Amino acid sequence: MDIYDLTVTAIDGSARAMAEYRGHTLLVVNVASACGYTPQYTGLEALYRRYKDAGLVVLGFPCDQFGHQEPGTDAEIQQFCTSTYDVTFPMFSKINVNGADAHPLFQLLKAQKKGALGTELIKWNFTKFLVGPDGQVLRRYGPGDTPHAIEEDIRPLLETRA
């Protein structure tokens, strides 16, 4: 199984096939509205706007597994993201990223790129996975890795896009 075999649920409740992102560079992020890292929405949106025409897609997956920092409904999360951070990149329904009921997307991402000390466990909100246009998970970033710092890893992937 690869990333393009999966289906995810958009924040509006519609099913989205990951296959529609084939050929794009993806930055997959578990997000939260009440986290110390929440201001990273600004940088994520800036990356998306700067590079979306070159093939970058930022995908936001709300998660409430860390300190109950994403308590809202999908509608509340969407309202917060658009009104507070003017988010236009695709957002998805709230999921779990760890544990027995972790979403299959995050199971795959974690299996392909382990974290510190070889662990698959996601430790906090705003963990990011960089996925190349071929669907391979290239890098995993911790919450403290800012969108600005990740930009230098993204740019070469876009320059080689046909």
- Annotation marks residue 63 as catalytic: no
161 occurs within a structural domain: no
162 occurs within a structural domain: no
The pLDDT assigned to 115 comes to 75
50 occurs within a structural domain: yes
160 occurs within a structural domain: no
Burial class (CB in 10 A: 0-12, 13-18, 19+), 141: buried
Residue 4 per-residue DSSP state: G
Contact by Cβ (8 Å): 127, 29: yes
124 occurs within a structural domain: yes
Return the CATH number at 66: 3.40.30.10
93 occurs within a structural domain: yes
94 occurs within a structural domain: yes
The pLDDT assigned to 111 comes to 93
The residues with which 91 forms a beta bridge, in sequence order, are: 60
| Selected catalytic residue, list 3, 29, 35, 102 | 35
Contacts of 132 (CB under 8 A, 6+ apart): 25, 138, 157
Q: What is the mean pLDDT of each run of 10 residues along the chain (162 residues)?
A: 95 97 97 95 97 96 96 96 97 96 96 80 94 95 95 87 48
In 3D, which of 127, 108, 134 has the Cα closest to residue 44? 127
The count of domains in the chain is: 1
In 3D, which of 110, 12, 126, 11 has the Cα closest to residue 69? 126
Structural domain boundaries, residue 67: 3-155
In 3D, which of 79, 51, 78 has the Cα closest to residue 153? 51
Q: Hey, is 155 helix, strand or coil?
A: helix
